[in-house]
Structure 1
Amino acid sequence: MLQPEDLVFGDVALDRSCLFAHRDGKQIRFTRSERALLLLLTRNPHSLMRRSQLLDAIASANSDTSDRNVDFLINRVRSKLGDSARSPKYIATQYGEGYVWIAAQVPAATLKPDFAPAHGFLAIAPVVPRHDERLTKRADYITGQLRETIAGRVGAGQTAIVVGNEECAATRYVLRVSFRDGGARLDCTATLREVQTRRIIRAFRVEFAAAGTTSLTPEIERVSNDVIAALETNLLEASEGLGTPTDQPLEIRLRKATTLLSASNPKWLEKGLQLRDARERNPASADIALQWCLHLFARLVLTNPFTGISRSEREDLESEIEGTVLECLPLVETNPLLMLAAAKLLYFVDRGHLELAEDLAERAFARTADFAAALPLLGQLRQARGDFAAAVAFFDRGIEMADPDSEFERHMRVLKCIALLAAGDREALEATAFSCESPHSPPDLTVMIAVLVTPPGQSLPQAVTDALVAAGQEGAHNAIDYTYMTSVRHLTSLQARAKIMQGLLAHLTRLHGEDIVPPFVLRGTGLIGSS
């Protein structure tokens, strides 16, 4: 069904992050430059977006930032949306000046039921020569039987549907079955693909005897079993790496894979010696190398914020993370979980790798959408670019997929609060409020969360105030340093950074004076002249 985060304009349902859209049952993918234009246009409807603004939007995504290139990209987006320059429904031209997004957003409730993208698990598409009605009827019967057999064996909440040959359903996978009448038998070829990547998972021949000569059931059973086995293998492969248990059921493996990339997973902190030994035994393993980097990452984010970590030690750890991850990149292209780990680490060290992290994360997400491992990072990447609505949508999706009261759910809620702070949306933040107390969070980090989300003019809980007083000036200085380096510096907007830090700085300077704020934090938030 239509996702709540989709933006609907006419007959187009646009993913809020502008990764893709759906129109007439077909999925549309956008390049990075096209997405940059769509984000700017759709976030500013009925407003003239001048060429200079559009050039700025695509500058980081495309080195060719000429006026002519903007026009070319606009025309390409129009083509994908089924739009016309002469009679525009979506993008109108203001000649000599720029472009205007003119489409009105449609409330989801007004959509016809048959318009909503399927968003199912598997689509089965028969491919039959045109005008062969007899073969078409037989193909429809066979694909219907395949659907029923497969649908009875996939997991709860996963659907299998039959679609027309010309459709590209908004599903995770598509099974295309081509039919050819061979006289004595019916020759078929079945191809199972991932929809977003178009990667072929499995292809095999299928043979049915001539109509009426024998039962179709055995071959349908065999094909269904092969498809289910291929899907399970694909999910298993997508969750391999980073120490994911290989001897446990798929559901447990997917849940484990989801928690491995959580920022507050203490397992990586505990495995330092074990991973150091493993690296010495197998220095060529990219998997072990990235696990070691996640250990170093855990040392940076799970340290006590009030005692902190020295600048030189932080720089050394981040340099080791950066160098190791970059060396591993050619070796992880076939493993989505390792790609996500690499993207997460490159994003965190904040050394100019934002585009690379986005590319890795988006390609990995196409293979890991069955579980929530990519959602925290995708939300953070959108947040870094200033698209807070898309970030919150990813975090909300992660909260929905998380086990109640789990460490992962809390992690997603904290990330959502930071995104709402960055957006300056205090009203939504108050509605999102949750208990800062958690068995999954060390007490000192719990204090930091409470300080971050409490408005500057509002009193802190007494226990939190006592902890801040006990930390002293040095502890308060370290806490500001820690928060900026772990949660704030990655955002490209100085204003958004300042909004996250506003409450923390107000509460701590009220207790310990303004001298506790590190100068680099004032510069990094644009507050150098106001604090």
Structure 2
Amino acid sequence: MRSARGADGSEIVFTRQERVLLMELSRRPGALLSRSELHRAMAATGRMAGERNVDFIVNRLRARLGDDARAPRFIATQYGEGYVWIAAADRPDGVAAFVVVGPVRGEAQSAAAASLVQGISDQLATLLGSGRKVVLVPDWQGDEAAQVAFALEISLHAELSDLHAAMALRSLPSGRVIATRRARMAQREAAGQGVAIARWARGAIWRHIAVPDGSELLTPSDVPVEIRLNEAGRALTRSPERWREAEAQLRKARDERPGDPSLAILWALNLFARLIQWPPDPGLASPGGATALEDEIETLVLGNLAGIEDNALLKLAAAKLLFFTDRGHLELAEQLADEAFADSTAFGAAYATRGQMLMCRGAIPEAVALYDKGIELAEFGSDFHIYLLVLKCTALMAGNDRPGVARTSEELYLARPNSRWMAPFFISPYDDDLPEPVAAALSAYSPERCQQVLRHLYQTSARHFLAAGHRASVMRGLATGLRRLVGPQAIPDDIARLLAASIR
């Protein structure tokens, strides 16, 4: 197999590595193939590195096939184990969509019913955008060939001049009902009701992805809540400011359930997302803006700990937030993280949270070991994988392991090429010549912009390390590069003093 034909008729020509992997998987449909098995099969190409390079080739192959790791049609991931070829030999009737509106049951033939159902489908497609396909299949039966993330079932009943509608939103392939809605409307007004129902469905999808249900069974590869929030935003918006989507959804949810402790923790996480965003939120530029958000985060977490006692993911989120605000709650944060790890199977999320506290206490090798364990559980190229790699780079910077930083940052760029915008944060203070793209980007900064970048790095990362030497090591690479390219005025006075003190 040298090539394949895409859905648009274009030819996809595979590399030798891609052909070997594709043939190895597709000739054994349904079988779990480990990384080591695939690595051995691909070694014959003579270009293989470590087993993790298998993940890169899988990721590249998915991109070329138009396959989505979260809703795969061809290659499914068994976290921490390997990959499975799930495509059937012939699937002419399969439906591929983010949401299927269907089946539609009951008295669905009237003009009012048809206009309602079509309006729901159209409005949901508009709300989700072009990246998330919505299809209306009134007689859909959930066929096994389908690749669908959610199904919106609708039942209709006409009574005199009214139309009654019952909706059930299911998560697939599990079939679990995640939200229901009952609506009653005048038949003559049915066409205008699609907007409200579509907004309800969109909000329910966001909550399902973002909000950890305390009753759900957790797996070792479950991700921290801050990553779930990001993934929920990614599912519903193409904007890089995903916290804005979360803010809108959380405001609505908190209005409906004002005393819900889980929503309070999620709101605090959304405030955290605003604080770490780059470029910084202009709304936080005023004096005390960031401090006010951290005050609110601290109050929300401490006031809602009792209500999240039985939810391991939310306890880990609370630990992360108390750690981040840096208000003297490190021991409480460590206790919460340890309890969540001891009481649940969410190993991956716990590795990430506990690793941050270990590295900031100075236990760099132990933190890196936890990050590596989390990386083994993470989907290659996923938000969680990228998050862990960035944390690992930070730990290695603090420990002044510059070769380790270089290796890990290259793994980061391999997993997600568009993450190279982060390269300035990982540059070495010992390199005489910066990579040309990095040097060009930094040279364009004004001294004021340089100081803003350095303060952001300090506030979001370096300040959490207890040892001044570790804080200085996190800052030194970027600060040295900016001083070289822009001059000493690029460095804020307090950061300059930190760096000078660390080399005495």
1:507 to 481, 491, 503: 481
2:211 to 231, 234, 243: 243
Cα offset for 1:408?
1.2
- Alpha carbons of structure 1 residues 448 and 518: separation in structure 2 relative to 1, 3 Å: farther
Give the whole-Å Cα distance in 2 for the aligned partners of 1:346 and 1:376: 15
Matches within 5 A, 1:4-153: none
Matches within 5 A, 1:305-320: 309-310=284-285, 311-320=287-296
Q: Secondary structure at the match of 1:334?
A: coil
1:261 to 213, 218, 226: 226
- Alpha carbons of structure 1 residues 340 and 509: separation in structure 2 relative to 1, 3 Å: same
Q: Deviations over 1:131-175 (max 9, x none)?
A: xxxxxxxxxxxxxxxxxxxxxxxx997xxxxxxxxxxxxxxxxxx
Give the whole-Å Cα distance in 2 for the aligned partners of 1:241 and 1:329: 22
Matches within 5 A, 1:161-310: 243-244=211-212, 255=221, 257-262=222-227, 265=230, 267=233, 269=243, 270-304=245-279, 309-310=284-285
2:333 to 357, 365, 377: 357
1:469 to 443, 453, 463: 443
Q: Which residue of 1 aligns with 2:402?
A: 426
- Alpha carbons of structure 1 residues 438 and 482: separation in structure 2 relative to 1, 3 Å: farther
- Aligned pairs, how many? 294
Is the CA contact (8 Å cut-off) linking 1:287 and 1:338 kept in structure 2? yes
Give the whole-Å Cα distance in 2 for the aligned partners of 1:243 and 1:359: 23
Is the CA contact (8 Å cut-off) linking 2:389 and 2:412 kept in structure 1? no
Q: Deviations over 1:12-67 (max 9, x none)?
A: xxxxxxxxxxxxxxxxxxxxxxxxxxxxxxxxxxxxxxxxxxxxxxxxxxxxxxxx
Q: Deviations over 1:151-207 (max 9, x none)?
A: xxxx997xxxxxxxxxxxxxxxxxxxxxxxxxxxxxxxxxxxxxxxxxxxxxxxxxx
Partner letter of residue 318 of structure 2?
A
- Alpha carbons of structure 1 residues 439 and 281: separation in structure 2 relative to 1, 3 Å: farther
Q: Secondary structure at the match of 1:374?
A: helix
Instruction: Structure 1: give runs of 5+ residues left out of the alignment.
Output: 1-154, 158-239
Q: Which residue of 2 aligns with 1:331?
A: 307
Give the whole-Å Cα distance in 2 for the aligned partners of 1:353 and 1:246: 25
Is the CA contact (8 Å cut-off) linking 2:396 and 2:402 kept in structure 1? yes
Give the whole-Å Cα distance in 2 for the aligned partners of 1:323 and 1:260: 19
Give the whole-Å Cα distance in 1 for the aligned partners of 2:417 and 2:252: 28
Instruction: Structure 2: give runs of 5+ residues left out of the alignment.
Output: 1-78, 82-207, 234-241
Partner letter of residue 300 of structure 1?
L
Q: Which residue of 2 aligns with 1:384?
A: 360
Is the CA contact (8 Å cut-off) linking 2:386 and 2:412 kept in structure 1? no
- Alpha carbons of structure 1 residues 254 and 308: separation in structure 2 relative to 1, 3 Å: farther
Identity %: 36
Q: Deviations over 1:295-347 (max 9, x none)?
A: 11111112315979425211111111111111011222221111111000010
2:384 to 399, 408, 417: 408
Relative to structure 2, which stretch is displaced further, 415-424 or 512-521?
Answer: 512-521
Partner letter of residue 333 of structure 2?
A
**Counterpart check, 1:521 vs 2:486:** no
Q: Deviations over 1:77-110 (max 9, x none)?
A: xxxxxxxxxxxxxxxxxxxxxxxxxxxxxxxxxx
Cα offset for 1:433?
4.0
Q: Which residue of 1 aligns with 2:431?
A: 457
1:341 to 317, 328, 343: 317
Q: Which residue of 1 aligns with 2:58?
A: none
Cα offset for 1:522?
3.9
Cα offset for 1:472?
1.8
- Alpha carbons of structure 1 residues 450 and 382: separation in structure 2 relative to 1, 3 Å: same
Q: Deviations over 1:441-489 (max 9, x none)?
A: 976xx43444423344342222222221223222111100100011110
Q: Which residue of 2 aligns with 1:169?
A: none
Give the whole-Å Cα distance in 2 for the aligned partners of 1:308 and 1:436: 30
Give the whole-Å Cα distance in 2 for the aligned partners of 1:333 and 1:436: 35
Q: Secondary structure at the match of 1:527?
A: helix
Q: Secondary structure at the match of 2:327?
A: coil
- Alpha carbons of structure 1 residues 351 and 245: separation in structure 2 relative to 1, 3 Å: closer
Q: Secondary structure at the match of 2:339?
A: helix
Is the CA contact (8 Å cut-off) linking 2:371 and 2:388 kept in structure 1? yes
Is the CA contact (8 Å cut-off) linking 1:241 and 1:287 kept in structure 2? no
Q: Which residue of 2 aligns with 1:97?
A: none
Is the CA contact (8 Å cut-off) linking 1:241 and 1:338 kept in structure 2? no
Give the whole-Å Cα distance in 2 for the aligned partners of 1:527 and 1:263: 40
- Alpha carbons of structure 1 residues 259 and 442: separation in structure 2 relative to 1, 3 Å: farther
Is the CA contact (8 Å cut-off) linking 1:306 and 1:471 kept in structure 2? no
Q: Secondary structure at the match of 2:310?
A: coil
Cα offset for 1:367?
2.5
With structure 2 as the length reference, what TM-score do the two structures score?
0.52
Cα offset for 1:510?
1.2
Q: Secondary structure at the match of 1:296?
A: helix
Q: Secondary structure at the match of 2:464?
A: coil
- Alpha carbons of structure 1 residues 342 and 442: separation in structure 2 relative to 1, 3 Å: farther
Give the whole-Å Cα distance in 2 for the aligned partners of 1:485 and 1:502: 15
Give the whole-Å Cα distance in 2 for the aligned partners of 1:265 and 1:521: 31
